Structure 1
């Protein structure tokens, strides 16, 4: 129903000077979508209050509400073009009045867990990049066609928004940081099994894909009571994100999935000293794909017992300490983590094995992450008891993965099924803790069920073989000359 509206909106954004990437389009779509959602939410709450004979205090002042400046209507409900701001007037209002007003909510809000505070945070990080007030007018009219009033409408909008995030990831550059393949996320959640009443955390949440999928999973587990719904809405999903655009997208994504006031904090997670994490700050479930390849400064490294510049290794330490005893973690990391010989890698593997039950390692093939040239594994662990044995699964979809042939849910079906009983197969096997070298703590993926490859020859053998072939070729040439 809304797909054509999204396409029309993208076409407007592509024509706007200065907006050139999928990241730009998603950013500008997000702030307009948020304000339209907020207007629909306020109107719905106002109507409910009216039906109950109660007053309703609007969050947004009248002159800044959607209907006042973005989409004024005539008494018959049709668009009022005569009173709609356009061109330079619209740009001036948005840049000089609307945006400062919205940013000010951060200072005016009583607490950080309110929607008022989220409004201020969002518009403290994002602003209109439109240079043409006429393009902005056209874009606003398309956004006004969208509705957030029914669950079906929200579901369709969430799918379209996810598609935009996916395109952003496929576009390369920094977009891939925000997108983890949803089939992989869903498989991780099916193994971690978050339950209503548990807190789910992602300290590098990006576009909040893990939290959104966890919400859908938990919402669909059983018939929900009013208390269950309130729990899911207010005290189940928690995230932190360093980058401004990702932070805004995460909030919008969760809202579209049905979480009205997301518990997402805009902060650098790694700036927190992990030794200061208290029991009240811990979670039952951690789901994450932390950024890797980054190099953190020395002052950041001081927040961790195991000093390293590798961002992903710092996040893994943070996640281990953020879990409650008995809590479950599912974390994506580069596969080189399993075998790197540097001190930090070895020490971190040792800590993981000694403080957690690393029960499963999922080995992902190249191409799982579109646009990323690295291979990854997923670590599944439970906090509080040492590892006794680890079940490995080597994912093999039987085809090359890529942009036009991405990972799908069926590719991971066998993994989820076999994991339930830790069954061995051609693609899966078990490693006993006693088999792990206690010096290197090497956890390399070495499938014992595959045929052994012929050992590589020594260099001297190769040189001897080349010499023999040269001698044989020379003999053949001599015979040919004699015949001539």
Structure 2
């Protein structure tokens, strides 16, 4: 975790950006990202040079070659280690006129010689840091942090991402990290599984899956798994170029060298090569926003004919998963009980044609202050042949934070219990009553209820029996009380005479 001093410094830089006229938090993060990327490139070349000195072999495909750039500046001056030592005004000129064009236009390879996902997304980037003072302050903070550890770099970036405090215009908002963590732990990603988020945004789900996999005992010893981890395991799609740059950097700073983070309108661009490609999908797709119905992939409309983005995304996930593949996705409550034909058909498909594993109901304040929408997490496995026997329901009352806009940390949370009970759902969970916080519902009962998946449809509420006094007894007590008041008033009047 980054310490309080670093947090305070980042907060100061944030305030400086705002007073300098940059009020969009995504733009602030994007500008800081360019500097983090430059430092990372210099670290990568330094590592390659040290390796070359030990082996006596020259550095192949150096990021910063000998000679000068097209604008006449030595490439050596563009390296972080040298660039940070120039005067404040010189640093600003150097970055604006040489380093940024280098990052955007010239850089096409990483130190390992392969195409860089992040450098690819730099093509239409803009440098908007307002003045030399802001640039110097950001440089000083980044340079003052020991970023040799993957955790430190990741935590720094996560702290910046946590400052995104407003929902996007297309239904985008950031999924809380503890909710992502729960979904990843419950799906338990494994080495050599291909993982996808078709609405990746800042890549929070992919980052957490990468952290989970890094703890695998074979990850550091099996080179085949390690290569797959860095180049083939993680796939994210988004149609916002700023999000693609931020998401790519988030993955890089969490130690994934070259994830597949791609520009794509997931609902429109369903390629045959993508169908049945992924072992695991983790996502929080947009619930609202504009939808160009005419451009929606026809393959999705054959599954579910609707203009609801949340339903189309669920159809997309089914298409993308391999048989046996798993999904954990956040949906608005309306998906669980919506009465339209599209709603019912999709729920029936999940229950009858595939294996619906669980419905985890979240409290309505989980996404505040971004949005107050009520949501749930659906867990399902693609089978193409059914397999749903019982669906596990859990009613989350507390996620560990207050459910108002402040989201103050609380002393307790249901989430550890969710994970524990999930792991016992085939044993002790079968014995739980419908009055409990979690329980199993057989497929036949769900079918009888029109495939309604709302928890309240199946949860039984236990009412405490309360004994009340008889009306005559209550009236007698009121009359006695009234008499005592009248007598007291009479005594008070006598004292005042």
TM more than 0.5: yes
Structure 2: 5+ residue stretches without partners: 466-497
- For 2:357, the equivalent position in structure 1 comes to 359
Deviation at 1:134, TM superposition (A): 3.6
Q: Does 1:245 align with 2:242?
A: yes
Change (3 A) 1:119 1:6: same
Q: 1:286 aligns with which of 278, 281, 290?
A: 281
- For 1:177, the equivalent position in structure 2 comes to 172
Q: Does 1:59 align with 2:63?
A: yes
- For 2:479, the equivalent position in structure 1 comes to none
8 Å CA contact retained: 1:362, 1:393: yes
Any idea what SS the aligned residue of 1:124 has?
Answer: coil
8 Å CA contact retained: 2:392, 2:438: yes
Change (3 A) 1:320 1:47: same
- For 1:270, the equivalent position in structure 2 comes to 267
Deviation at 1:294, TM superposition (A): 2.2
Q: Residue by residue, what CA displacement relative to the aligned partner does 1:49-69 show, whole Å, maximum 9, x if unpaired?
A: 221121113123455788614
Structure 1: 5+ residue stretches without partners: 455-484
- For 2:141, the equivalent position in structure 1 comes to 142
Q: Does 1:206 align with 2:215?
A: no
- For 1:101, the equivalent position in structure 2 comes to 102
Deviation at 1:328, TM superposition (A): 0.8
8 Å CA contact retained: 1:59, 1:116: no
Change (3 A) 1:321 1:105: farther
Report the Cα distance in structure 1 between the residues aligned to 2:100 and 2:252, rounded to whole angstroms: 21
8 Å CA contact retained: 1:3, 1:160: no
Deviation at 1:312, TM superposition (A): 1.9
- TM-score w.r.t. structure 2 length? 0.79
8 Å CA contact retained: 2:233, 2:259: no
Deviation at 1:331, TM superposition (A): 0.6
Report the Cα distance in structure 1 between the residues aligned to 2:75 and 2:410, rounded to whole angstroms: 40
Change (3 A) 1:321 1:71: closer
- For 2:126, the equivalent position in structure 1 comes to 127
Moved more, 344-353 or 136-145: 136-145
The equivalences for 1:106-117 within 5 A come to: 116-117=115-116
Change (3 A) 1:314 1:411: same
Deviation at 1:239, TM superposition (A): 1.1
Change (3 A) 1:100 1:46: same
Any idea what SS the aligned residue of 1:15 has?
Answer: helix
8 Å CA contact retained: 2:189, 2:213: yes
Any idea what SS the aligned residue of 1:360 has?
Answer: strand
Deviation at 1:182, TM superposition (A): 1.7
Any idea what SS the aligned residue of 1:326 has?
Answer: strand
Any idea what SS the aligned residue of 1:271 has?
Answer: coil
**Cα-Cα RMSD:** 3.3
Any idea what SS the aligned residue of 2:30 has?
Answer: helix
Q: Does 1:40 align with 2:43?
A: yes
- TM-score w.r.t. structure 1 length? 0.81
8 Å CA contact retained: 1:338, 1:443: yes
8 Å CA contact retained: 1:427, 1:449: no
Report the Cα distance in structure 2 between the residues aligned to 1:60 and 1:178, rounded to whole angstroms: 37
Deviation at 1:116, TM superposition (A): 4.0
- For 1:165, the equivalent position in structure 2 comes to 161
Q: 1:415 aligns with which of 415, 418, 424?
A: 418
- For 1:307, the equivalent position in structure 2 comes to 305
Report the Cα distance in structure 2 between the residues aligned to 1:263 and 1:287, rounded to whole angstroms: 15
Q: Residue by residue, what CA displacement relative to the aligned partner does 1:332-363 show, whole Å, maximum 9, x if unpaired?
A: 11011011112221222122223320011000
Report the Cα distance in structure 2 between the residues aligned to 1:2 and 1:420, rounded to whole angstroms: 35
Report the Cα distance in structure 1 between the residues aligned to 2:77 and 2:412, rounded to whole angstroms: 45
- For 2:492, the equivalent position in structure 1 comes to none
Larger gyration radius, structure 1 or structure 2 = 2
Change (3 A) 1:439 1:301: farther
8 Å CA contact retained: 1:40, 1:147: no
Q: 1:186 aligns with which of 173, 178, 181?
A: 181
Q: Does 1:450 align with 2:442?
A: no
